[in-house]
Structure 1
């Protein structure tokens, strides 16, 4: 009788999993697939309903791609610390034709599909220092990451799509130089931004006609860098936009806050601003003269609702 009851509990548990997740990835073969890419490949093209992929703990060394035809896909990890998606490409690596793959080509994960969501996962480029090495490149629109880690050095996170809106909630992002960079509109809420050494956190390349670039709200800026050696950002392109609001800035932050990337012209067009920050790294009287300290009224413009327009990521 006990055996029958035990079997019933197993069936019940499996039934619950089947309802919660469409596919399960497990390295030991206990799921539907042993690789994350195989699960992505199995998602029907242009599906309107959400497809949920559960990834069990393990280190998955794969160079991943979510194509544009794979829409509304969710990747849910068993544990952010123990479910790791990693690869080790780097910009100067040669392809089979002897050509360098470049910064974009170095990405461990390419995300092109709209409506992608990730939760409880680590995304890593494990190459190390010495070259640009991207962990995640994001081109899709309405992309959300929650409780995820992004590990790397130079150019860790690449919000690339010019029309892409991205939301990062309670995430950890680390790197050395320009480790959050690109064209997209991205809102970071409650994230820890960790500088592993002296360098630059952001390198936005916002288009002139794009209303918002990178917005950091209620984030913590920490790191191993020496005090005063980390800039909040420098403009990769002339109209770069980056705003830090209600953030705790650690002592690693440079007193001037912002660097013009050796360009007087970029000082005239880039828009770098702060509002209601705090901590040892917040020294508004010493900030670069071409940057901005927002008033209460100006800061209202940078609400999640305003930045994301008709998409509310907190409702999904």
Structure 2
């Protein structure tokens, strides 16, 4: 008598159910979906809360229709591998906005319009905004995500616009605006082929590395810094939020309104400025002259600058290639 191999038969039944499948849902202000929907929702948060789980190896895609989404959105750590795709003709067509402030919501870290806590998050063609204006800390987006990618996105605010907080993050072909410390935190983040726009005299970055062994820092490369509304007053590339703050500008166009000193000491907020690593390489524009930079700033050699290229600086132990991953987005 012949018997079917039970383990093989079981595998044939179980394996199809274990295969990961991407989940695609749609978000639109015109949607009549509700919390029992599976693929159509009126708000981004409702989609994040109620869309089906793609399972291990799958990815959740939100196709977000043009509109202004006046909501506070949280992507929890239980929603890794999520991609938001704005379906408008440009990022100004899909806007996620709120007007929360630190002074009225319990501090800086409770003021964000959007909070990303899940790893492997991606966004393309979307605007993240905090519309509170010049009223103190008001975060547009807080990102605590490893292997996060933002492509063709806009980040709009004033003070503390973009909290690049934790993990490896890659921003490409994007636009970031603000007035004071508007890129801040302790992620390892690269801003590539982007525009950094300052709207009043202040500081572009406030990076917060706390030890010399942390592989964190900000790299602005192949980008452009622009300025308006400064009334003839200079601005600075950054100031140290923590003692081992690290920021590198390279292959980037700097305007004439940049302070000749380049960097600010935050009135000795960092105990020992020799621990700070602020560096430049091969920048262009009227603000790229380094002859009057602060004595604790660094001018890199080509060999030193190589380690700050996106594929190297963000590689990690898993050999992540953010440039290749970003190229897969629309």
Question: What TM-score, normalized by structure 2, do the two folds share?
Answer: 0.85
- Counterpart Cα distance in 2 of 1:105 and 1:143: 21
Report the alpha carbon displacement of residue 283 of structure 1 after superposing the two structures with TM. 1.6
Residue pair 2:23, 2:54 contacting (<8 A) in 1 also: no
2:222 to 218, 222, 242: 218
| Aligned-CA RMSD value | 1.7
Can you list the C-alpha shifts for 1:229-255, whole angstroms capped at 9, x where unaligned? 110000000000000000000122111
Q: Tell me what 1:33 maps to.
A: 41
Partner of residue 82, structure 1:
93
| Secondary structure of the structure 2 residue equivalent to 1:115 | coil
What number of residue pairs does the alignment pair up?
290
| Structure 1 residue 227 displacement after superposition | 4.8
CA positional deviation for 1:20: 9.4
Give the distance between the partners of 1:44 and 1:270, measured in 2 at CA. 43
Following the alignment from structure 1 to structure 2, what is the Cα–Cα distance between the partners of residues 46 and 280? 51
Q: Is the 8 A contact 2:174 2:193 kept in 1?
A: yes
Distance in 1 of aligned mates of 2:278 and 2:63: 39
Runs of 4+ in 1 over 3 A off after TM superposition: none
Higher alpha-carbon deviation: 58-67 or 22-31: 22-31
**1: CA distance between counterparts of 2:158 and 2:280?**
25
2:273 and 2:195 map into 1 onto residues whose CA distance is: 27
Of 281, 285, 291, 1:285 maps to 291
Matches within 5 A, 1:182-261: 182-208=185-211, 209-224=213-228, 225-227=230-232, 229-261=234-266
Structure 1 gaps of 5+ residues are: 1-18, 95-100
Q: What CA deviation, in whole Å up to 9, does each residue of 1:26-50 have, x standing for no partner?
A: 1011771000011111242864211
- The answer on whether the counterparts of 1:45 and 1:71 sit within 8 Å (CA) in structure 2 is no
- Alpha-carbon offset, residue 303 of structure 1: 1.5
Structure 2 residue runs of 5 or longer lacking an equivalent are: 1-20, 34-39, 326-330
Q: CA deviation at 1:266?
A: 3.5
- Provide the rounded CA distance (Å) in 1 between the counterparts of 2:107 and 2:201: 24
Q: Which residue is 2:309 aligned to?
A: 303
1:146 aligns with 2:151: yes
1:51 maps to 60
- For normalisation by structure 1, the TM-score amounts to 0.88
Contact persistence 1:45–1:70 (CA under 8 A): no
Deviation, structure 1 residue 296: 1.2
Deviates further, 237-246 or 223-232: 223-232
Moved more, 230-239 or 298-307: 298-307
Shift of 1:223: 1.3
Q: Larger Rg: 1 or 2?
A: 2
Question: Cα 1:46–1:258, aligned 2, differ >3 Å: closer, same or farther?
Answer: farther
Point out the more displaced range, 296-305 or 171-180.
296-305
Structure 2 distance, partners of 1:226, 1:74, is 40
